Structure 1
Amino acid sequence: MRLRLTEFRPRTGPHEHRVVQPRTTLRHTSLTAPDPIGLLLGDHDGLNRLAGLFSFAACSRHTIVHIPLRDGVPPDEGWGERVDLVLAHHTLGLRPSQWPGLRRRLRGGTPLTARTDEARTARDARAWQTARDRDELRHTTHARTLFLFGSRGVFADSAAGFAHAAGFGPHQKRVAQGHSALMTGLPLTQPPGGGHPYEVLVSFKPYPPYAHFRRPGASATRPPRPAAAP
């Protein structure tokens, strides 16, 4: 997949950070943080681009991937306050408390085009799924942003989940009438001592007006009118 991004190089003291954002907003995609259940709603374009961004994050250990999701069209279902999304490898050492200062410095970015390697992402996802000690996405919410910290494998597995949701979501029943379809979830770390599990549910939802929506394989033209009776 080709990703059209904007790259920033903000500095905090002697340290330079690399931050990338999608060049255009994921207009019909929204996210609420897990408390303990979060919800990500996206159309085909949004879920497909998220698959690419998670795949990019999997292979970019020194890059912060910032996905603004509060700027899109407000969803007509769901719960909680909408948040943005940040992806970073746990080895990068990003502290959520640093983020507001970094975000204020995201100005004057440089256009960047990147290509993801779907075959490599699939291999990394399979390796993560078969690993004996699988890591999960560590998460926290700060400054109206959900932070997900992980490794190459767990980001690749999440990318595969988003790709599945984008590809098969349009085939689900009742989506043509505007109903969302639950497709997958993100593997989040759980609180110590039990309690309600934390999870972000990922659902496909076409954007209104729904008259424009065609399930894959359906004709894009109206059926012919029946012939007039003689």
Structure 2
Amino acid sequence: MRLRLRQFRPRTGPHEYRIVQPRRPLRHTSLSAPEPIGLLLGDHDGLNQLAGLFSFAAYSRHTIVHVPLRDGVPPDEGWGERVDLVLAHDSAGLRASQWPELRRRLTRGTPLTVRTDEARTARDMESWRARRSHADARDELRHATHARTLFLFGTRDLFVEMATAFAYAAGWGPLEKHAANGHMAFMTAFTLAEPPGTGGHPLEVDICFKPYPPYAHFKRPGAPKRPRELRTPVG
């Protein structure tokens, strides 16, 4: 997949960070923070773009991926306050408390185009499936919510798994029975690491497909075409 991004190199003190954003906003995709259940609601384009962004993040250990999602078209379903999304490896050295200052510095970006390798992502996902059942393969997505932003801190394997989940949601969501009527369709969910001793409901984010309105434009793949209105000539 080709991703058109914008790249920034803000500094805080002696540290320089590499931050990328999608060049084009994901207008029909929204995210609410997990309290304890969050919701990521997107159309085909938004979910597909997120699959590519997670794949890019998986293999870019020193790059922070920022996906602005607060200012898109407000969804007519869902719950919670909308937040942005940030993906980072531990090696990027990002702390959630630093983000407001860094975000203010994202003013002069340069265009960047990258390509993701779906075949490599699929191979690494199969390898991760084979290893994650072992006792020593217990990676979990760490998270924080700060400054109206959900931060996901993970490893290559975890971001590859997320890329696969979003690709599944983008590909199969339009086939869901009620999608043509504009209803959101639950596709999958991802769980988040809980702080020790918290207990209670597991933290998770549901991934749902929803076509963008007006829903008359949307047609499920494989569905028959709507017949054109016949017009009787006048005169």
Report the TM range for the smaller structure's normalisation: over 0.9
Alignment of 1:89-104 (within 5 A): 89-104=89-104
Q: Deviations over 1:39-97 (max 9, x none)?
A: 00000000000000000000000000000001100001111100000000122221000
- Secondary structure at 1:21's aligned position in 2? strand
Alignment of 1:122-133 (within 5 A): 122-131=122-131, 132=134, 133=137
Alignment of 1:150-189 (within 5 A): 150-189=154-193
2:174 partner amino acid: P
Match of 2:205 among 190, 200, 204: 200
1:146 and 2:150 are equivalent in the alignment: yes
Q: Deviations over 1:117-164 (max 9, x none)?
A: 101111222222222213111011000000000000000000000000
- Secondary structure at 1:158's aligned position in 2? helix
Alignment of 1:44-59 (within 5 A): 44-59=44-59
Alignment of 1:215-226 (within 5 A): 215-220=220-225, 222=227
State how far apart, in whole Å, the 2-side matches of 1:39 and 1:80 are.
Answer: 8
* TM-score using structure 1 length: 0.94
Match of 1:209 among 214, 220, 224: 214
Deviation of the 1:215 alpha carbon: 0.6
1:170 and 1:216 in contact (8 A); partners too: yes
Structure 2 unaligned runs (5+)?
231-235
Q: Deviations over 1:177-208 (max 9, x none)?
A: 01110001123113423311000000000011
* TM-score using structure 2 length: 0.92
- Secondary structure at 2:75's aligned position in 1? coil
Deviation of the 1:13 alpha carbon: 1.3
Match of 2:111 in 1: 111
Match of 1:69 in 2: 69
Match of 1:121 in 2: 121
Match of 2:233 in 1: none
1:210 partner amino acid: Y
2:191 and 2:202 in contact (8 A); partners too: no
State how far apart, in whole Å, the 2-side matches of 1:155 and 1:202 are.
Answer: 15
1:128 and 1:134 in contact (8 A); partners too: no
1:125 partner amino acid: M
Match of 1:228 in 2: none
| Overall identity of the aligned pairs, in % | 72
1:13 and 2:17 are equivalent in the alignment: no
